[in-house]
């Protein structure tokens, strides 16, 4: 048994990092305690590993053609060592998972540049596929205390049960977001590259991180009178417009919503939030 790899919470990146002022901690303290206990409750059962092909929501564009087919592989001991060597930086661990676990997107072998071009949601979907190829489709939980009735619950969560957002039009790369006073922001969805830039802001200043993502993803603002401002500085946008845009980016980003999973406890009939973190996905490592 090797030392467990320290994996980051999903809260530190992905769609959770982009909710800006909306950023609610949906999970109750009880659920957090429940998850902490769960980390020690055993390794995942390998039910059906080896399923390696998936179709991304957006994929990558090469010379006018979109490529969405991707192939992942089962992680090996060598990959596990590489992931452990990535240290405690959440972004580096996630990046290493992608570089080691994804074989191809379209006709290209996985590489850093390709990974940085993918939408955050496609990256998180790929990580789910790597998990499936390595440990199978089911997340097993044992003796989770229900936060409502305190009964201990054994639970099997198929990865497909995690809420998933699809893109209505996968090839649409620009979106209009209505702002106040009849203005419209034209935006694009954040990619791995944008995520890296946000996470590079180390002082934990959430407003600065919001400005970074807005500075990158707001392509132009069209005022009610037709005036177009290209690449407006994020700090010049009103707080309410910033919030509207960040909410749009978070809501529209496709892929798995790891933080939004919940189940109904049969005994008490109540809904139990159970946010799925990377540590839960890969707790066998």
Q: Which residues of this protein are in contact with Zn ion, per CB under 5 A?
A: 146, 148-149, 265, 268
Q: Which residue has the tokens 């996630």?
A: 94
**In whole angstroms, how close is the CB of 30 to Zn ion at the nearest point?**
11
For residues 49 and 145, which CB has a smaller minimum distance to Zn ion in the complex?
Answer: 145
- For Zn ion, which is the closer residue by CB, 146 or 250? 146
Residue nearer to Zn ion on the CB measure, 43 or 154 = 154
Nearest residue to 259 via CA among 268, 269, 250, 267: 250
What is the smallest separation between the CB atom of 74 and Zn ion, expressed in angstroms? 36
For residue 32, the minimal CB distance to Zn ion (Å) is: 17
Least Å distance, CB 29 to Zn ion, is 16
Pairwise CA distance, residues 140 & 155, whole Å: 6
What does the alpha-carbon distance between residue 57 and residue 32 come to, in Å, rounded to a whole number? 30
- Minimum CB distance to Zn ion smaller for 144 or for 234: 144
> How does DSSP assign 205-228, residue by residue?
-HHHHHHHHHHHHEEEEE-TTS-E
Task: Give min distance, CB of 33 to Zn ion, in A.
Answer: 15
Complex with Zn ion: residue 146 or 280, whichever CB lies closer: 146
Give which of 123, 115, 102, 108 is closest to 63, Cα–Cα.
108
Cβ at position 146, least distance to Zn ion in Å: 3
Tokens standing for residue 285: 């490592």
Shortest CB 21 distance to Zn ion, Å: 33
**Nearest-CA neighbor of 5 among 77, 53, 62?**
77
Q: What are phi and psi of 271, to 5 degrees?
A: -85, 130
Nearest to Zn ion of 46, 268 (CB atom): 268
The CA distance from 32 to 14, in Å, is 19
> 67 or 263: whose CB is closer to Zn ion?
263
**For residues 129 and 73, what is the distance between their CA atoms, to the nearest angstrom?**
8
Nearer to Zn ion, 131 or 265 (CB): 265
Beta bridge partners of 158: 138
Beta bridge partners of 221: 185, 229
**Residues in Cβ contact with 153 at an 8 Å cutoff, skipping those fewer than 6 apart:** 141, 143, 144, 145, 146, 265, 272
Contact 53, 125 (CB under 8 A): no
């Amino acid at each position: 048994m090797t030392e467990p790899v320290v994996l980051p919470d999903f809260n530190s990146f992905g769609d959770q990092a982009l909710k800006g002022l909306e950023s609610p901690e949906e999970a109750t303290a009880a659920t957090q305690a429940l998850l902490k206990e769960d980390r020690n409750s055993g390794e995942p059962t390998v039910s059906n590993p080896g399923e390696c092909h998936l179709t991304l929501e957006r994929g990558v564009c090469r010379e006018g053609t979109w490529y969405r087919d991707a192939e992942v592989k089962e992680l090996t001991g060598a990959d596990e060592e590489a992931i452990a060597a990535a240290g405690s930086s959440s972004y580096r661990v996630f990046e290493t998972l992608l570089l080691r676990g994804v074989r191809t997107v379209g006709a290209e072998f996985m590489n850093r540049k390709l990974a940085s071009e993918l939408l955050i949601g496609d990256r998180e979907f790929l990580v789910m596929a790597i998990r499936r190829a390595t440990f199978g489709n089911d997340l097993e939980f044992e003796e989770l205390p229900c936060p409502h009735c305190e009964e201990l619950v054994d639970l099997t969560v198929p990865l497909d049960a995690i809420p998933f957002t699809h893109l209505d039009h996968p090839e649409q790369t620009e979106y209009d977001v209505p702002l106040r006073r009849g203005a419209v922001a034209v935006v694009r969805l954040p990619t791995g590259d944008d995520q890296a830039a946000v996470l590079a802001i180390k002082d934990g200043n959430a407003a600065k991180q919001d400005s970074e993502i807005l500075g990158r993803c707001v392509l132009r603002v069209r005022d009610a009178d037709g005036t177009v401002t290209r690449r407006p500085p994020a700090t010049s946008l009103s707080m309410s417009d910033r919030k509207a845009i960040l909410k749009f980016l978070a809501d529209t980003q496709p892929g798995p919503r790891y933080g939004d999973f919940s189940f109904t406890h049969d005994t008490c009939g109540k809904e139990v939030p159970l946010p799925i973190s990377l540590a839960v996905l890969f707790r066998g490592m």
